[in-house]
Structure 1
Amino acid sequence: MKNLSYTPPAKSRLAMTTALPYANGDLHIGHGSEAIQADIFARYRRLAGQEVIFVCADDCHGTAVELLAASQNKSPERVLQEVGARHRADFARAKISFDAYHSTHSPENEAIAFAFFDELKRGGHLQRKTVPQLYDEQAGRFLDDRRVRGTCPDCGRKDQYGDACECGATYDAIQLVDPVSTLTGARPQVQDAEHLFFKIEAFAAEIRAWLASGAVQKEVRAKLLEWLDEGLRDWCITRNGPYFGIPVPGEPGLFFYVWLDAPIGYLSTLQHYLQEKQSNKNWADIWSDENTETRHFIGKDIINFHGLFWPALLRGAHVPLPDRLHAHGFVTVGGHKMSKSRGNSVTLAQLLDQLDADALRYAIAARMGDGITDFNIDAEGVAEKVNSDLVGKIANIASRLRPIIAMSDNLLSDSLPDSDLFDQALVLAGEALACFESVNTAAAVRSIVSLADLTNEYVDREAPWTVDDPDQRRAICTQALAQFRLIAALMQPICPGLAGRCLAVFGLSKVGWDELAIPPTGQKITIPPRLFDRIDAAALSCLGEIQSGKETVQ
């Protein structure tokens, strides 16, 4: 491909995931942003000809689901069914192209959790300990992490759960300062309880080697190494009943801690996908295959679990580590971080009720870089970016040429009048592809917009509406529309709806990256009257109803 710099994926298959949304409420804008970032990457790789298996699931176990079910006088299973249906519907509306969406409350997840547990026991990686634990005398039960809140012992932030703080620190519930039971409001007492602990320090060297391989971003690696240097504490992997989760085999009254079976959900959903496809392979055949690349997309608030505990758990079960762990920053709305627990989050459904899915995807893509820096969206910014770029620059190329090419019977010339200009366009296309590969969608957007600017400048300069010669007029339109097709192809991962309408101009449903350099010459085209509608910032009320003057966190 002339002047198109592009290297296809090294492996023939990609198995990738987003973090599993917890099943105690609706998806919020943070879930949507992560899913959009990952979906853009999945679509980009599919267009490279790679087999992509993109999976996710609801994270179903733990106290929060149990409490939600009790508050609604429903069984946890009923709540999971209802929440799961809403999650699937919202992701579908956002055009997230999951190949499978499942649940951690499933036979597949239980079976793989049991298999992991057996491997940890067999390898001598578990230790039984009697530990002090918070006990609510009024409720007559031990308090798991989600039934107690207090002040973080690391940063001093108030109203934190009993296992992890919003600052990223992890700890035992007994370490909380001024703990309070969420069941009764009483201050819990300390009693001894017997639990199983996973000795993850034994895997520190393997985790360090994995980090050195480039599996995570530099800033994530630095934080994980900081925790490694402090030493890895044994991790309690059990909780006392009653607890909504997977029972520990041979341990009456104990259940797996949700953070043990939740990441296993990545593998069990892969297993579910293969079963639905009636494949003769199982999850391990795919995950461990040397021709499979494995990737996780997560938020920076859970890098401790995914960068330390999960790799140790995988190695304890003799499973290869993921090739890449990509973390992203928090999304803020109008400068405020979202928090479902604090009641000021914007749901994905609210956004999609007021905003076209392609517009939302573009607004998110334009702001998400390849690092963990937080990014902001607001009504004015979204409207300005969508109207300026999608309507004013990209769709406008076709719209302004529609009456002119119609004068030539909508027939493109047999060749391009300016091959050097098309080569410049291909350079920008190559830059966009490189940005997709590095998961820098904001930079990819900039390259695509630069290509649109290059094309609009060409149309302005040549002014085909002033040209009397029909062949010359047609040639100018052909040049600009060939570059428009290039733009449409590059927009496929970001805005599949808009890209589809733009490619339909040329009678195409998709364009793979190996077809980018082929200009659409000598063919009939059909440009519709409208390709994308402007949006009104005033209509995006869900982005303007955020409380101010209040500390909020993702």
Structure 2
Amino acid sequence: MIQNPKRYTVTAALIYANGPIHIGHLAGCYIPADIYVRYLRAKGADVLFVSGTDEHGVPITIRAQKEGITPQEVVDKYYTQIRDSFAEFGISFDIYSRTSKKVHHETSQEFFKDLYDKGVFVEEVSQQYYDEKAGQFLADRYIVGTCPNCGNPNAYGDQCERCGSTLSPMELINPHSMLSGGKPVLKSTKNWYLPLDKMQPQIEEYIASHPEWKVNVAGQCQSWLKQGLQPRAMTRDLDWGIQVPLPDTEGKVLYVWFEAPIGYISATKDYFTAKKMGAAPELYTAPVPETTTPGDWEVYWKAKDTKLVHFIGKDNIVFHCIIFPATLMAEGSYILPENVPANEFMNLEGDKISTSRNWAVWLHEYLAEFPGQQDVLRYVLTTNAPETKDNEFTWKDFQTKNNSELASNLGNFVNRIITLTHKYYKGEVPVRGELFDIDRELIEALAKAPAEIAEAIENYRFREGLSLLMDISRMGNKYLADTEPWKKIKDDPERVKTILNLSAQVVANLAVLSEPFLPFTSQKIYDMLNIPILRWGQAGSVNLIPDGQVFGAAEILFSQIEDATIQAQVKKLEDSKKANELASKTVAPAKEAVTFDDFQKMDIRVATILAAEAVPKTQKLLKLTLDTGLDQRTVVSGIAEHYKPEEIIGKQVCLLANLAPRDIKGISSQGMILMAENIDGKLAFVSPTTLIINGGTVR
């Protein structure tokens, strides 16, 4: 464990470029990573923040098939969307790269060749599933079958999304190919394996050397180690990915979880190469630290006084804590991760976030629908962060936290101080006078806050850090309420000068300490105070704003969010779920063929419902009186759970008029009205769209 690192390399997970960013991604790793990095920069630390898109692997090819475009078109589309969304949201990467770049292909192949030349890999021929119709081997995600643990009929070859079990294709019951739908066969193929079993003692020693890791991370690692590590193939039989750099390996690519984490390294190389050439990397917001020179990317990955931290979601723990470190160990010249503060999952409105089911809050849509409110989402996702267990986002909670905490607490305090200073002193900060006990208590509490927040951030307790930040504005509001400057201005104006001077110092501290959590809000406060950006080490002081400093105009930091706005978002989710369910709904299989003569025997007529009443002692049955144009007749129909009697009087329906009468609950039912089931399982009438004469035939 590095006690006093000279520099930091911080990574955030390389997300698959097969769809947009959603709040689960943000809460899982990107917001926590950004808070950590912004804090380090505020301290003046030398830190490089690296991420990008993972553009290989089966999810890319599945998305390409779904959208009817090429894998390259998929990654180009989503890389741009993801990169731009992160930039607008304020995730302050130094560089946001992509694994389809030439530098990444070359770096990954060099890694593989180095380990191959050292004799690290084990070459093995194994039996794998092959789709004879499609003419290719099937990666895990191309195989679907029944989960042996929970019976889910749509489990993937690597995981069951219903019960969360990790699977292998051989464990699936009745497996079939997603490409052709056919049953795959086993076929021999050669691949190269990383012998994790032989490396287990070395990996165990590495993990044991980090007792400070989060419980959820350490627990998952220990679970894998207890089961005993097994060799894992570092190559795959696919046509989309990085070519294996060995002779006679056409149709074989590097395993995505071998090459994807190397993307952090190749992105760093790319970053420094671009700086050396005087070209701007594709996306970065912080300059290369002055302590470095162009071309020395290696200090961020090989220097022993560099601290490497990976921010990821819990589904990537094994890859960043075991497989990638094992790869680095085998290579020999790289530092290993000092910490991997993985978060659990964020759920949404009582259900798991799902890209395939479109059950998500998408970042690019949020930015368009809530312009200028990036920090509201950052705040809500941080206060609800799934740091030790799964947590949940709801739109109602989003509204409550904005209105009751951000607007009424933080925003209210800052606005009151700026407004009162303008009202009483023309916007100039007054000179402090005599201090009382209540003032000294405020000064003492403020002095402790930076260290307390820093301790929480440095130990990856971001929820706690944000709560401590909000305590400062709560303290400021209480100080104002207790001192009542609006009353004292009449009989003790000198006292008011001290109150507003100290309150202004609290606002300045909020500007400094909120920057990692709420960067857009922090900048707005700085703008109102008319002071330069301050370092973290300056916080805790009551001398941040000089006497006589002239404030800018007061600005509303957070507006109230109305019920209608929240209801619209909830409805949007519900409509999305219904549309997805409709698209994926299984259609009943066709019945046996009938002859035209059989069809001709069916007498289907348009009829109008004249009366309707519930059948006593039943929940499902309604007694209907119908005008068929031929007669008036009674029909008993099982639609009482879907329609009230008064709702359907006057409704035109289709009636199978020549169905033999049937006694139902003592009532002779003379026919059957035709119904269809909609997406919600609700029965809907099969009715004419224009007025038809009663007795009109359907043919």
Specify which of 37, 45, 51 is matched with residue 50 of structure 1: 45
Change beyond 3 A, Cα 1:377–1:525 = farther
Q: Is the 8 A contact 1:17 1:295 kept in 2?
A: yes
State how far apart, in whole Å, the 1-side matches of 2:516 and 2:3 are: 16
State how far apart, in whole Å, the 1-side matches of 2:499 and 2:198 are: 66
Equivalences for residues 139-288 of structure 1 within 5 A: 139-153=134-148, 157-166=152-161, 170-214=166-210, 216-250=213-247, 251-278=249-276, 280-288=294-302
Equivalences for residues 317-332 of structure 1 within 5 A: 317-318=331-332, 319-332=334-347
Q: Is the 8 A contact 2:193 2:234 kept in 1?
A: yes
State how far apart, in whole Å, the 2-side matches of 1:174 and 1:194 are: 17
Deviation at 1:546, TM superposition (A): 4.0
Identify the residue that residue 391 of structure 2 maps to in structure 1.
375
Matched, 1:518 2:516: no
Equivalences for residues 299-378 of structure 1 within 5 A: 299-318=313-332, 319-355=334-370, 356-368=373-385, 371-378=387-394
Change beyond 3 A, Cα 1:161–1:401 = same
Matched, 1:121 2:142: no
State how far apart, in whole Å, the 1-side matches of 2:215 and 2:67 are: 44
Specify which of 68, 75, 85 is matched with residue 80 of structure 2: 85
Q: Secondary structure at the match of 1:134?
A: strand
Q: Secondary structure at the match of 1:494?
A: coil
Q: Is the 8 A contact 1:62 1:245 kept in 2?
A: no
Q: Is the 8 A contact 2:450 2:536 kept in 1?
A: no
Change beyond 3 A, Cα 1:403–1:494 = closer
State how far apart, in whole Å, the 1-side matches of 2:564 and 2:450 are: 34
Change beyond 3 A, Cα 1:9–1:528 = farther
Q: Is the 8 A contact 1:363 1:382 kept in 2?
A: yes
Equivalences for residues 18-33 of structure 1 within 5 A: 18-33=12-27
For each residue in 1:124-162, what CA deviation from the matched residue of structure 2 results, as whole angstroms up to 9, or x when unmatched? 221111111111122222111221122445665552332
Identify the residue that residue 502 of structure 1 maps to in structure 2.
525
Amino acid at match of 1:13: R
Amino acid at match of 1:413: P
Amino acid at match of 1:524: Q
State how far apart, in whole Å, the 2-side matches of 1:404 and 1:283 are: 51
Matched, 1:404 2:402: no
Identify the residue that residue 486 of structure 2 maps to in structure 1.
465
Change beyond 3 A, Cα 1:112–1:55 = same
Amino acid at match of 2:59: A
Deviation at 1:538, TM superposition (A): 3.2
Q: Which moved more, 1:46-55 or 1:215-224?
A: 215-224
State how far apart, in whole Å, the 1-side matches of 2:428 and 2:527 are: 15
Deviation at 1:364, TM superposition (A): 1.0
For each residue in 1:518-540, what CA deviation from the matched residue of structure 2 results, as whole angstroms up to 9, or x when unmatched? 32241323253323122235324
For each residue in 1:242-277, what CA deviation from the matched residue of structure 2 results, as whole angstroms up to 9, or x when unmatched? 334333432333211111111111111111111122
Q: Which has the larger radius of gyration?
A: 2
Identify the residue that residue 3 of structure 1 maps to in structure 2.
none
RCO higher in 1 or 2 (8 Å CA, sep ≥ 6)?
Answer: 1
Deviation at 1:169, TM superposition (A): 5.1
Matched, 1:534 2:560: yes
Amino acid at match of 1:522: D
How does the TM-score come out when normalised to structure 2? 0.73
Identify the residue that residue 68 of structure 1 maps to in structure 2.
63
Deviation at 1:341, TM superposition (A): 2.4
Q: Is the 8 A contact 1:346 1:542 kept in 2?
A: no
For each residue in 1:351-402, what CA deviation from the matched residue of structure 2 results, as whole angstroms up to 9, or x when unmatched? 2223311111111111226x33112111111111122222111121232234
Q: Secondary structure at the match of 1:505?
A: helix
State how far apart, in whole Å, the 2-side matches of 1:228 and 1:158 are: 30
Q: Is the 8 A contact 1:354 1:539 kept in 2?
A: no
* Aligned-residue identity in percent: 28
Amino acid at match of 2:217: V
Q: Secondary structure at the match of 1:290?
A: coil
Q: Secondary structure at the match of 1:277?
A: helix
Change beyond 3 A, Cα 1:123–1:427 = same
State how far apart, in whole Å, the 2-side matches of 1:98 and 1:137 are: 45
Consecutive unaligned residues in structure 2, runs of 5 or more: 277-292, 582-699
Q: Secondary structure at the match of 1:426?
A: helix
Deviation at 1:228, TM superposition (A): 0.8
For each residue in 1:311-366, what CA deviation from the matched residue of structure 2 results, as whole angstroms up to 9, or x when unmatched? 11111111221111110011111121101123322211122223311111111111
Q: Secondary structure at the match of 1:232?
A: coil
Q: Secondary structure at the match of 2:341?
A: strand
Q: Is the 8 A contact 2:469 2:510 kept in 1?
A: yes
Change beyond 3 A, Cα 1:404–1:142 = closer
**How many residue pairs get matched?**
543
Q: Is the 8 A contact 1:293 1:323 kept in 2?
A: yes
Q: Is the 8 A contact 2:303 2:335 kept in 1?
A: no
Amino acid at match of 2:311: F
Specify which of 443, 447, 454 is matched with residue 422 of structure 1: 443
Change beyond 3 A, Cα 1:160–1:281 = farther
How does the TM-score come out when normalised to structure 1? 0.92
Q: Is the 8 A contact 1:368 1:440 kept in 2?
A: no
Change beyond 3 A, Cα 1:202–1:52 = same
State how far apart, in whole Å, the 1-side matches of 2:401 and 2:173 are: 45
Amino acid at match of 1:252: E
State how far apart, in whole Å, the 2-side matches of 1:71 and 1:448 are: 45
Q: Which moved more, 1:289-298 or 1:172-181?
A: 172-181
For each residue in 1:416-443, what CA deviation from the matched residue of structure 2 results, as whole angstroms up to 9, or x when unmatched? 7323421112223322222122222211
Q: Is the 8 A contact 1:300 1:372 kept in 2?
A: no
Amino acid at match of 2:228: G
Q: Secondary structure at the match of 1:327?
A: coil
Change beyond 3 A, Cα 1:72–1:378 = closer
State how far apart, in whole Å, the 1-side matches of 2:411 and 2:17 are: 39
Identify the residue that residue 452 of structure 1 maps to in structure 2.
473
Q: RMSD in angstroms over aligned alpha carbons?
A: 2.4
Q: Which moved more, 1:41-50 or 1:165-174?
A: 165-174
Deviation at 1:212, TM superposition (A): 1.8
Q: Which moved more, 1:520-529 or 1:265-274?
A: 520-529
Change beyond 3 A, Cα 1:441–1:205 = same
Q: Secondary structure at the match of 1:325?
A: coil
Q: Which moved more, 1:262-271 or 1:174-183?
A: 174-183
Deviation at 1:410, TM superposition (A): 2.3
